[in-house]
Amino acid sequence: MSQRPYVIDQMISAKAIAARIEALSHEIEKAFAGTDKLVVVGLLRGSFVFIADLVRELDLNVEVDFLEASSYGDGMESSREVRILKDLRSEIAGRDVLVVEDIVDTGFTLKHVVQLLRSREPRKLETIALLDKPSRREVDVKATWTGFEIPDEFVVGYGIDYAQRNRNLPYIGKVRFPE
């Protein structure tokens, strides 16, 4: 199946992303000051670049784990059905946890993941999203920290894909279909 040709317009530069992650890391360090070890849970696949850059900025002991949840498949619209494709390897009961999400759109994925992880009784659970599209929200959920609030545009880059393409772009770009 071939895709329609599209163009990517840069929205957020690599430099702006790096500066925002540095600022957010200081806020996270304050919130988790005194923790023995922070379990940083990346939601795959879109968050892998963000989580790598974020944990390198954190001046905390961290353990990294991943959870893969899907509500998109290869499409541009959320299916609103969240499936857990890969669960955590670590036990998080009584531990400090930071969930790292690439983008909060409808909110279904983040809400589902937070409910699932809270049921495992972590000591503290906070969330961070690189991007937030509040105009698309369909459920009541908000990340503790947000990198950038963006309009209702389909975006790629910095780990975020469109049908498994464009994850390797160093910036966030808007997908546009020429007429």
**Amino acid letter for position 103:** I
How is the beta sheet containing 7-12 ordered, strand by strand? 7-12, 172-176, 155-156
In degrees rounded to 5, what are phi and psi of residue 6? -140, 165
Handedness of CA 106, 7, 74, 66 (dihedral sign): negative
Residue 105 is a catalytic residue? yes
Q: Across-strand partners of 19? A: none
Q: Which of 112, 153, 148 is nearest to 128 (CA)?
A: 148
Annotated catalytic residue within 53, 102, 105, 132:
105
- Residues 11, 174: contact at Cβ < 8 Å? yes
Q: In this structure, what token pair is assigned to residue 158?
A: 């910095």
Residues in the chain: 179
Degrees, nearest 5: CA angle 73-50-35:
120
Q: Which residues are catalytic?
A: 105
